[in-house]
Homo-oligomer: A and B are copies of this chain.
Amino acid sequence: MQYPKPLGRLIGELSKLPGIGSKTASRLAYYILSMQDQEAESLADSIVDAKRTMHFCSVCGNLTDQDPCAICSDPKRRQDMVCVVETQQDVLAVERVQEYRGLYHVLNGVISPMEGIGPDDINLRSLILRLQKHPEITEVILATNPSVEGEATATYIARLLKPSGIRVSRIAHGIPIGGDLEYADEVTLLKALEGRTEL
């Protein structure tokens, strides 16, 4: 027996989501059918609404429902520092630390020649223009991931900004707090040794 058509379609749509296989999709679909009408409509509406109202901030490239985004338009934040990250999720990760009070620039990607993603395919040109337009920005923190692509992107940006005289820094890599030296991989340990600070 096949699923009735509307149910089959719902399961098909749900299983397009990442990490949702056909079994989970079917479980979710049955759950949705067991919900109150207004709950299911609210779920559907929140999808359409988020999709319609959320867009990239014209200044920093973060996902936002206003423009400029809440961070860019917050006068209490330090206007002289910009933290460059790969994704919106990374902004939230740094914000969770509740220590950094500067601005952000979201690349929405990384340079990856293997996947044919060059410097023009990520949100990089707008960073250069932003720095030219706002001479009050004196430091750029490169917080791309410590992956091959993230490192390459950080190196590329650092080289690009060198002539401008802006201070460019890279977040530290090393043994995570709570981590175990014994189980650290060689590259992390190397980075930890290289990045040692005097006490």
Residues of A within 8 A of B (CB): 1, 3-7, 9-10, 12-14, 16-20, 24, 26-33, 35, 37, 39-54, 63-66, 69-71, 87-89, 91-92, 95
Contacts and interface: CB of A to CB of B under 8 A. Distances in A.
Contacts of A18: 27-28, 31
B6 A65 contact: yes
A22 to B, nearest CB: 12
A32 to B, nearest CB: 6
B66 A6 contact: no
Chain A binding surface, main DSSP class: helix
A6 B46 contact: yes
A50 B10 contact: yes
A63 B47 CA distance: 25
B63 A33 contact: yes
Q: Which 5 A-B pairs have the closest CB atoms?
A: A1-B95, A44-B44, A10-B50, A44-B47, A6-B50
Contact of A46 (B9, B19, B71): B9
A95 B3 CA distance: 11
16 contacts: A3-B92, A4-B69, A6-B53, A7-B50, A7-B54, A7-B65, A10-B50, A12-B46, A18-B28, A20-B28, A30-B87, A32-B47, A35-B51, A40-B47, A41-B48, A41-B51
A62 B33 CA distance: 12
